[in-house]
Structure 1
Amino acid sequence: MTVTGTGFKASTTGTVIVGSATFAFQTTSQGAFSTGITIPAAPTGNLTITAKTSSIKASATFVVQAAPVPAPAPAPTISSAPLRFGAATPGGPLASSELDEVATVSGEIPSIVMSYKDFLQSPPITELDAVRSRGATPLVTWEPWAWGGGVNQPAYSLARITAGDFDGYISQWGQSLAAWGKPVMLRFAHEMNGNWYPWAEGVNGNQAGDYVAAWRHVHDVVAATGAANVQWVWSPNVPYSGSTDLAGLYPGPGYADIVALDGYNWGTSQTWSSWVSPVDLLGPGISQLRTVAPGKPVLIAETASSELGGSKAAWNTDLVSYLAAQPDVMGFVWFHMQKETDWRINSSDSSASAFKSALSARRS
């Protein structure tokens, strides 16, 4: 702050005293002065400021009040809103710092935490415990292949799965999940209507009808272990020109508890992609799910948007608003990763702010 004074001897030096600190000044030809001072960091009660020269001394006393310390922002919690919010992060359920970041940027703890496992991995009980400790429900994407092996993996053909070649392994998963005993969503062989995974029909030697047969077989082997706590999630990709028709891939109402969609707004991040709104991206697929699996709850199991080609902030707002208006859509899982493009919620400040506000609005 600045201290000023008049009535002092002209053109002389002086000192301003504030507590134990001193600040020099020089008067003008009219006997006035002005000098900057620093208030003590933690003054209490009255504070006296004194200005003096060799012949004159003047003081003033002020009541100094410290600025109130703002209350800390409330810690994020899991929302009870009908539309659930979930997340998948690079490190999975054991990467607590990643999930903490999601909670911070979104203002809400994800109530669903998704992870990915191939057919070489053991039942992830430690990860399930970690998700449960956060108050969330685990969603395990179980992929019948060996990661990194490409589309052509004859060892993991649908016919081999149906023939029982993996029954021992599948039973191990079922027994472990049954022993764990808490609710878990199991998303087996997702995006089967595309052609980029070895469990799709038309690739890897798979024929029409093989997918449903394999799904039912895996379901029945797990069910035989007593794993009644498992919710089966059937999760195609959003339909596109050339994708396999969903009707021939649906295993039936007794074999799926939740139906889901994966859909991304790639924007202009790829040479083949363009900006697409949440309604145009997800709406046709949701309509098909309602036709193929009437009455089943719908989950958007993977979604996110690129920053390139439009306003990601507006896209985030529109996504949550659109999904919250669909009574049969139970939730969505955000793919919080920097991969083909920056899918993360906080890829920009505007994206994070809009996402957080959209989640808050759907809670009110």
Structure 2
Amino acid sequence: MRTTHSSGRETSAALRRLAVLLLALATVALGSVGSAAAARPGGASVTGATTVSADQTFGVAMPDVPWTMAPLSALTASVGRAPTSVMWYAAWSDNAAFPAAQAADVAATGATPTITWEPWNPAGGATQPAYTLDRITAGAFDSYLTSWARQIRSYGKPVVLRFAHEMNGSWYPWSAQANGNTAGDYVAAWKHVRSVFSKQRTSNVVWSWSPNVPYPGSTALGAVYPGDGYVDQVALDGYNWATLQGGSWQSFWEVFGSGVAQLTALTSKPLYLGEVGCPEDGGDKAAWVADMFSTLATHQEIRGFTWFDFQKEADWRIESSTATLDAFRAGLSTY
């Protein structure tokens, strides 16, 4: 029964309730300020709140996935573990909508959809005046960017966007060394794309900055890094090309060691391997895969990897041989 007079306990309770109310109001106000700051194109930080699992990530990119999920299901059965990230490629020249249905299919398997978002026409090579970085920054593609921002916001679940990857090379029209671009143009274009998404208050994107492993003549990573305020995670692409490009067989750490060291010196953002591959020709691929898992176990700074499961320049697939599949399955069992 409530009395008509205020006891000491009631007074204290009322004060506690008032304090809680004031704290809640302050939290709302601060949240509004933070959202407004994130929406500003030139703000100090536009990093979204969305994150992916801190657990070690096993990712895969495969032909036709996610347009058909059968190959992914078959691979999962073969390796004994479902990927936690599924990556595919989307060219801006397609002018297609964000594939929400396919992203949902991937999410239904427990994996995070990861889209390598490529500002080019894949048939056009590295010189494409329509896709220069300064045109992106000037707003030539803002309608397309805005539509994706709105569609991903409506989708509502986490999506990793790996925008304009391997920019420190020379083989894409967004590369710092191609198509009349500079390193500064790349940084400006990245920040512009982020600003478009921030204006739409799309907060469920994880932005992945993904250079190629450094090589003699590549653009310095620091020159094309947009800054921690504009990047959620970093991801390094690298392959053991063996003799395919006139070189020699490289171990896993010979491929990635220098790049990992440079990235960890550049930023403390979560680090992944965005594309990994090894051929059968030129060495022992099964041993290479076993060494990869052994090395990853001793380099906890690497949060995960995505295997490039294609038969393209070489047979990069996990199932390129029984020995390689067995090595992969064994490695995943303790990863």
Q: What band does the TM-score fall into relative to the shorter chain?
A: 0.7 to 0.9
Instruction: Give the one of 265, 277, 298 matched to 1:291.
Output: 265
Higher relative contact order (CA 8 A, sep 6+): 2
Give the number of the structure whose residues are more often strand, by fraction: 1
Describe the SS at the equivalent of 1:209: helix
Q: What's the offset of the Cα at 1:100?
A: 1.4
What does residue 238 of structure 2 align with? 263
Q: What's the offset of the Cα at 1:126?
A: 1.5
Instruction: Give the one of 104, 120, 123 matched to 2:98.
Output: 123
Does structure 1 residue 281 correspond to structure 2 residue 281? no
Superposition CA RMSD, Å: 1.3
Describe the SS at the equivalent of 2:237: strand
**4+ residue runs over 6 A deviation:** none
Q: Determine the C-alpha separation between the residues in 2 that align with 1:219 and 1:81.
A: 23
Instruction: Give the one of 222, 233, 250 matched to 1:247.
Output: 222
Is the CA contact 1:267–1:307 (under 8 Å) kept in the aligned structure 2?
Answer: no
Does structure 1 residue 308 correspond to structure 2 residue 281? yes
Identity %: 49
* TM-score normalised over the length of structure 2: 0.82
Is the CA contact 1:345–1:352 (under 8 Å) kept in the aligned structure 2?
Answer: yes
Q: Determine the C-alpha separation between the residues in 2 that align with 1:345 and 1:207.
A: 37
* TM-score normalised over the length of structure 1: 0.75
- Closer, same or farther: CA 81–204 of 1 in aligned 2, 3 Å: closer
Matches within 5 A, 1:33-182: 82-119=55-92, 120-182=95-157
What does residue 225 of structure 1 align with? 200
Q: Determine the C-alpha separation between the residues in 2 that align with 1:280 and 1:123.
A: 37
Is the CA contact 1:105–1:345 (under 8 Å) kept in the aligned structure 2?
Answer: no
Describe the SS at the equivalent of 1:231: strand
Does structure 1 residue 189 correspond to structure 2 residue 164? yes
Give the number of the structure whose residues are more often helix, by fraction: 2
Specify every segment of 5 or more residues in structure 1 that has no aligned partner in the other structure, as ranges. 1-79
Q: Determine the C-alpha separation between the residues in 2 that align with 1:105 and 1:319.
A: 19
Residues 213-232 of structure 1 show CA distances to partners (whole Å, capped at 9, x for unaligned) of 00000011012111111000
Describe the SS at the equivalent of 1:345: coil
Describe the SS at the equivalent of 2:188: helix
Q: What's the offset of the Cα at 1:309?
A: 1.3
Is the CA contact 2:62–2:310 (under 8 Å) kept in the aligned structure 1?
Answer: yes
Q: What's the offset of the Cα at 1:81?
A: 9.2
Q: Determine the C-alpha separation between the residues in 1 that align with 2:291 and 2:274.
A: 17
Describe the SS at the equivalent of 2:183: coil
Residues 223-246 of structure 1 show CA distances to partners (whole Å, capped at 9, x for unaligned) of 211111100000000000111100
Question: Number of residue pairs matched?
Answer: 281
Specify every segment of 5 or more residues in structure 2 that has no aligned partner in the other structure, as ranges. 1-52
**Paired residue type of 1:132:** A
Does structure 1 residue 336 correspond to structure 2 residue 313? no
**Paired residue type of 2:291:** D
